[in-house]
Chain A
Amino acid sequence: MDAATILLQLVLSGILVGGVYGLIGMGFVVTYRSANVFNLAYGQFVMFGAFIAWSFIGSPQEPRLPLPIALFLTLIAVILFGLAVEYLLFRRMIGRPMHATFILTLGIMALLHGAAMLIWGPGVHVLVETVPRGAIHLGSIVLSQEYVWSFFLAVIIALALALMFQRTRLGLAMRAAYDNQVAARCLGVSARMNAQITWAIAAVIATLGGILMGTVHGISTTLGELVMIVLAVVLIGGLDSLIGCVLGGLILAIGMNLSSYYLGPHLPGVEGIFSMALILIVLLVRPSGLMGTRPIERV
């Protein structure tokens, strides 16, 4: 392969992976936007959702339930999970300082990680094929089919979420609550209902991301470390923008691909801290991200 083809290959596969990162990041953006929670436990949400799905769907060796039924049950289970998180924990945090909520998410992170380790163990669990797998050849470029499917799924969900936020009453209420919670409540927006729907949506998106990532890489507790990638994605895109989230995912994934290929031989594992370096650069240069709307308070 010549240099140009390699570059194209890296960029194209980066775009596909980036779409999935963007999708996962959206769950983070949703809770930040309408519940004002900076959820560091989000990676554990992805991991937990994936494991719940695995418990219903099963591995290729021993599938448990037919795929549609299993997915439906997973959906109900994670919606209940999201509602429980809101009802038991975040409802109590309304009006409390931001760093308290932040440390609460660290506690949730520890709890979920420990629980998953005890229940499912540290091993990698293989998931039944939820999206078709295999390679697609475009000339000399090879793309994996599951990423193409995941990418289109991510785009559809991004569009659906954007439509919900921009075109429905519910979305309007959520945006209003983000801008000014007190004013929104005076105008009859139910803060509780908002928060419940938000957490349910976030849990569903996290699970979806977990299933897609799990189909490709297998499911293990290391999925929780995805939170570092999610942080980079949402900070690049701007914490409150869904479109920015997709953009951030693309930039990060392409950048990770390129840095791993071109710098990897000299600096082993450089793609792992590429996201960290990007976070630092974004926070230094443009803290509100590429598409973020809310100005960040500087001191």
Chain B
Amino acid sequence: MRARGRRKTSYAADIAVIHSGRQWLTLAVFIGLLVVLPLVLNATHNLNWVTFLNFTLIIIIAVLGLNVTTGMTGQVSLGHSAFIMLGGYGLAMLTLKADWPFWAALAVSTLVTGLIALIVAIPAIRLKGFYVAVVTLAFFYIAQYVIRNLDITGGTFGLIGIPSPSIAGMSIKGDVRWYYLLLALTILCVLVSVNITRSRLGRSFLAVRDNDVATAALGVNVPLTKLRAFFVGSLFAALAGGLWASYVSVVRLDQFTIWDSIWYLGMIVIGGAGSTAGAIMGVIFLRLISQILHVIGTSDLIPLSSTVTIYSTQIIYGLVIILFITLKPMGMISIWQKFKINYKRWPFGV
């Protein structure tokens, strides 16, 4: 029997993210592995894997935001792709048209997207359930229409030549440098996300999701909580969008489709709604599927045309979402937790 239990002597110890020295060690080793990962991949001359890692990190940041809005607060948003798009376009317009420095532009475009999300949330918060999804869906198409028809956004051609950031005089160019920047920012975002769940704010989010009437009875302002959820969620999305735009140095409308909104929702469901670790697992799982299909499709073994790859990815994504929703509604994180409990209490499983 390995189970001993841990005695907590203070509230702070009880809500601590990391409980023991062994967890600190595991975390340090894990982050160390993440730091040396691109060096290993570089040694094998597989630069496209570093690109894959970078996009995965960007999407993790975005999905952490959706996890706040949908996973924690239960407001199903189909407009997440639009918030990412606004963040990207905001950064592009501020750096290209107004010659702002990168970091200022990123901060301002993120904040402005957050304010836009508040406006979108006004019709959404008055209603329950799928009405929120419909409002955000309508917002997605309206945002896309506006961007397509404005001159300042470059219309259907988009904006090109978005500058890269620089830190202390070192400009972030190339996949590996970007990897370290994105890794640092992702860890920061994970930290924020984890701490949201531990705070009063996060508890009000979870309470609104689980029972909004009871939450209101306990004195929590439900509409305000929903507004906050949309605001925080869209901040993550806009940050990811700005980084995305700068990383590929282009923003175009077809980078941000309604399908992406659906995949982000799927990632949350697959990982386990409301859990930060679950959201990350969901992103990595779906990204790996598409990368594996891409590798198979471009290999000599079973060459597939790019359209076949795209649509078989779509079919598999759909199937995975369907299977998780019907068979494992609590997501991958529930499988992991069950394993952990069984391991600790062995031979007395659940």
Chain A residues within 8 Å of B, Cβ to Cβ:
38, 40, 89, 92-93, 96, 98-100, 102-104, 106-115, 117-118, 122, 228, 231, 235, 267-269, 272-273, 276-277, 279-280, 283-284, 287, 296-299
Residues A299 and B223 in contact in the complex (CB < 8 Å), given A103-B265, A118-B308: yes
Among B76, B135, B141, B149, the residue within 8 A (CB) of A99 is: B76
Q: Which of B76, B131, B312 contacts A103 (CB 8 A)?
A: B76
A-chain residues with CB within 8 Å of residue B74 when the two chains form the complex: 99
Residues in B whose Cβ lies below 8 Å from that of A283:
123, 127, 131, 134-135
Q: Is the CB of A284 within 8 A of B123?
A: yes
- CB within 8 Å for A280 and B326 given contacts A114-B311, A118-B311, A297-B128: no
List the B side residues contacting A112 at CB < 8 Å: 318
- Which residues on the B side are within 8 Å of A276 (C-beta)? 138-139, 141-142, 145
A280 to B125, CA, bound (A): 13
Report which of B126, B135, B319 forms a contact with A299, defined as CB distance below 8 A.
B126
B327 to A, closest residue via Cβ: A92
User: How far is B296's CA from A5's CA once the two chains are assembled, in angstroms?
Assistant: 60
> Are the CB atoms of A280 and B135 closer together than 8 Å?
yes
Interface of B is mostly: helix
- Is B184 in contact with chain A by the CB < 8 A criterion? no
B318:A98 contact, CB within 8 angstroms: no
Cβ B262 vs Cβ A235 within 8 A: no
Is the beta-carbon distance between A110 and B127 smaller than 8 angstroms?
no
- A298 smallest CB distance to B (angstroms): 6
With A272-B145, A276-B141 already in contact, 7 other A-B pairs whose C-beta atoms are closer than 8 Å:
A96-B329, A99-B130, A103-B269, A113-B311, A279-B135, A284-B126, A299-B127
A87 to B60, CA, bound (A): 35
Chain A CB within 8 A of B26 CB: no
Q: Which residue in B125, B130, B314 is a CB contact (below 8 Å) of A114? A: B314
Contact of B312 among A89, A118, A284, A298 (CB under 8 A): A118
Residues from chain A with Cβ under 8 Å of B126 in the complex = 284, 287, 298-299
Chain A residues within 8 Å of B226, by CB? 299
Question: Is residue B277 contacting chain A, with contact meaning CB distance below 8 A?
Answer: no
A296 closest partner in B (C-beta): B127
Tell me, in angstroms, the Cα distance from A273 to B140 when the chains sit together: 10
Closest to B125 in A: A299
The answer to whether A110 and B259 touch (CB under 8 A), given A104-B322, A117-B311, is: yes
B residues within 8 A CB of A38?
129-130
13 pairs from A and B in contact (CB 8 Å cutoff): A100-B325, A102-B130, A103-B76, A107-B325, A110-B317, A114-B313, A117-B314, A118-B315, A267-B149, A280-B142, A296-B127, A296-B128, A299-B216
Q: A108-B322, A110-B259 are in contact. Are A299 and B128 (CB under 8 A)?
A: yes
Contact status of A280 and B138, CB under 8 A, knowing A98-B129, A99-B74, A297-B128: yes
Give Cα A299 to B122, complex, Å.
Answer: 12
List the B side residues contacting A102 at CB < 8 Å.
76, 129-130, 133
6 shortest interchain CB distances as A-B pairs: A111-B318, A110-B318, A114-B314, A107-B321, A114-B315, A276-B138
How distant is the Cα of A47 from the Cα of B230 in the complex, in angstroms?
33
B123 contact set on A, CB distance < 8 A = 280, 283-284
